[in-house]
Structure 1
Amino acid sequence: MKVARIHNFSGPTAVQIDEIDVLEPGSGEVRIRVGAAGINNSDLQTTYGNYRGPGYEGLPHILGQEAAGEVDAVGLGVTDFVPGMHVVGHVKGTFGEMAIGSATELLPLADEVPFSVAASLPIAYMTASMALIHKAKIQKGEWVLIHPGSGGVGTAAVQLAKLLGGRVIATAGNKSKMQRVIELGADYGIDYSCQDVAAEVLKITDNSGVQVALDGAGQATFAQCLEAIANNGRIVSYGTTTGMDARLPIGKLLGRNATIYGIALWYNSDYQTALSTLGNLVIPAVAEGKLQPVIDREISLKDVTEALLQMEKRLIMGKIIVIPQFF
């Protein structure tokens, strides 16, 4: 079978297409014929050796951590899934024609949800739901800042926050992306390339600030979220795309009585709860058209390098989806 994998940590250009033997599912595992797989920042960071999360077992390494597809075979002890079923979830090595996932991290997929749409859901919407529902515990009518709001998690969070009754302020790096987040449901958009995020938030909220802020970029965004937070507000930090070392003004943290949550999806105690939310809330809402995942485009395995390079340059809106059969 064909796979997109790396043999060294020299960045996106290290990705190459290899032919390997079909993998066999172990006990408790499911082999999936990959219909579609989502690209994430963690895949970009893996090419540099900066991320070695679940599924990493050394070089050479097949990229990809989420997929939707058809069950091809099951390992010992698997009873909930049978060949032919459509599934979606966290799956290792998804940039290939076949991939292996744990049965405990898969969900059955309704036939009306296309693989390309379903593959965009697990990481983005589980992160967004963990942040908004299971950590910040968003309440109807609360102001929510999503900073930035144009990436995979950001676009998911904008729509999910609106579905939950929040009043949403989303940021983006240019006017076209800002207009897109408003089209997705954000009540207000802020262009962080030319506007002061905290100042604009205070104008919008009549100087009260937001009750919930999602920080998706780390170094360049965390302090701005703290500046924009209301008294007794909650900040959830889930990403570090601009750097891992952020300034923390302790005085403002104390003065605002703010609560800060840091989440790493795979290692969080709310992981299984977020997976249940994906199955019970997100996927049904997608099937009903209440949530519309943002897909930048669909690509083949041979286009993974270029997609990762564009992600690095922040030229992506939403998610890029890999379709192995395009090869």
Structure 2
Amino acid sequence: MRAWWIRTGADTMVLELREVPRPAPGPGQLALRIEAAALNRGEFIAGHGLHATGAAARPAGFEAAGTVTAVGPDVQGWQPGDRVMGRCDGAFAEHGLMEVGEAFAMPEALSWEQAACATVTYLTAHDMLMAQGRLRAGEWLLVTGIASGVGVAALQVARALGARVMGTSGSSAKLERLRALGLDVALHTRGPDFVPAAREASGGRGVDLVVNTVGGSVFGACVEALAFQGRLATVGYVDGVVAAPLDLMALHKKRLMLFGVSNKLRTVPQRVAAAQAFGRELLPLMAEGRLLPLVDSVFPFDGLEHARQAMLSGRHIGKIVLRMG
């Protein structure tokens, strides 16, 4: 079968299309014919930590949807022909494997393209808004870089929880489109100058939860924008800034909680536990059509490099998907 591999060069990620053996499922695994796979920005940023510089190439992609072709020897509840979505290491391939604990039956409400991007970003949103962020109805959420895949998922989940949402973007057109998804306050900026507007919109008290998808260049402003007992989730650093000063007085007197959102060091059991929480609390909303992943564009299997360039250009809203059919 054909599969894309990725390695870290001196200052960029290099993609390679290879012919490799079709994988067979082991204990606790599903084999699937992959129909679609989603791009995730962190995988394509050199120095982001998903790939060590100079390390050997590895299968690319980690989120997909497809049709089960075989099940592992101890797997129950799944059979060939089932439609499945979830985390899938080496997702940019014609066939792949999923761990049963991270696989979900694909809701009828979703297309292949939507299903391909229905897990990782919404698992992340569940982690930062619900599991750690404890966002409640009536509270204010601020998302920097809200037009990203994670940002759009956060917007949708927050609205489903009854929270109010403000978000930043350097594109007024993107912000206008997100108003249709429930964005309450659009902050047209790429910089750290959003604090006065955020405070004004929240009645002067600040926001209850900030999701920082941008990085260190706006970290200080995120802390400043928080209300008493506010929470700050750091989920990425697309600006490449991985260090920033911390206002310890603000942390102290406002009783703030700062936390990271990442799967990099999680064990498989920890990932499975998070996936099951997503399955209980968010997957039913997808089945009802209340949470629908926003697919910006779809590229053919051979067009992964073009899809990557589209992602790096930053012009998309939501997710970019690779279609295998």
Which TM-score applies when normalising by structure 1?
A: 0.90
Contact 2:109 2:289 in 1 (8 A): no
TM-superposed deviation, 1:85:
1.1
TM-superposed deviation, 1:234:
1.0
Contact 1:3 1:17 in 2 (8 A): yes
Contact 1:170 1:181 in 2 (8 A): no
CA distance in 2, matches of 1:183, 1:274: 29
Which amino acid counterpart does residue 85 of structure 1 have in structure 2?
A: D
Residue 43 of structure 2 is aligned to residue 76 of structure 1: no
SS of the residue corresponding to residue 264 of structure 1 reads coil
Equivalent residue for 1:99?
96
TM-superposed deviation, 1:228:
0.5
TM-superposed deviation, 1:13:
6.8
Residue 234 of structure 2 is aligned to residue 237 of structure 1: yes
CA distance in 1, matches of 2:125, 2:99: 22
Instruction: Report 1:190-205 matches (<5 A).
Output: 190-193=187-190, 196-205=193-202
What are the superposed Cα offsets for residues 217-274 of structure 1, whole Å, 9 maximum, x if unpaired?
Answer: 2212221211110011111111121122122121221122111111213545864443
What are the superposed Cα offsets for residues 129-179 of structure 1, whole Å, 9 maximum, x if unpaired?
Answer: 111111011111011111121100000000110110101111112111111
TM-superposed deviation, 1:10:
5.6
CA distance in 1, matches of 2:189, 2:243: 19
Equivalent residue for 1:42?
42
Equivalent residue for 1:187?
184
Contact 2:191 2:218 in 1 (8 A): no
CA distance in 1, matches of 2:56, 2:14: 12
Residue 33 of structure 2 is aligned to residue 33 of structure 1: yes
Instruction: Report 1:94-243 matches (<5 A).
Output: 94-193=91-190, 196-242=193-239, 243=241
Contact 1:201 1:209 in 2 (8 A): yes
CA distance in 2, matches of 1:195, 1:107: 39
SS of the residue corresponding to residue 30 of structure 2 reads strand
Sort the Cα spacing of 1:264 and 1:110 in 2 relative to 1 into closer, same or farther, 3 A. same
Sort the Cα spacing of 1:284 and 1:240 in 2 relative to 1 into closer, same or farther, 3 A. same
Which amino acid counterpart does residue 243 of structure 2 have in structure 1?
A: D
CA distance in 2, matches of 1:257, 1:271: 29
SS of the residue corresponding to residue 274 of structure 2 reads helix
TM-superposed deviation, 1:196:
2.1
Equivalent residue for 2:15?
15
Contact 1:86 1:111 in 2 (8 A): no
SS of the residue corresponding to residue 291 of structure 2 reads coil
Deviating more after overlay: 60-69 vs 104-113: 104-113
Residue identity over aligned pairs, in percent, reads: 27
CA distance in 2, matches of 1:259, 1:213: 11
CA distance in 1, matches of 2:207, 2:7: 45
CA distance in 2, matches of 1:86, 1:17: 26
Sort the Cα spacing of 1:263 and 1:30 in 2 relative to 1 into closer, same or farther, 3 A. same
Residue 285 of structure 2 is aligned to residue 285 of structure 1: yes
Which amino acid counterpart does residue 289 of structure 1 have in structure 2?
A: G
CA distance in 2, matches of 1:180, 1:75: 44
TM-superposed deviation, 1:207:
1.2
SS of the residue corresponding to residue 9 of structure 2 reads coil
Aligned-residue RMSD, C-alpha: 2.1
Deviating more after overlay: 192-201 vs 211-220: 192-201
Which TM-score applies when normalising by structure 2?
A: 0.91
Q: Which runs of 5+ in 2 are unaligned?
A: none
Q: Which runs of 5+ in 1 are unaligned?
A: none
TM-superposed deviation, 1:181:
2.1
Residue 300 of structure 2 is aligned to residue 300 of structure 1: yes
TM-superposed deviation, 1:113:
2.2
Deviating more after overlay: 119-128 vs 244-253: 244-253
What are the superposed Cα offsets for residues 52-78 of structure 1, whole Å, 9 maximum, x if unpaired?
Answer: 37xxxx633221101111111122221
TM-superposed deviation, 1:285:
1.8
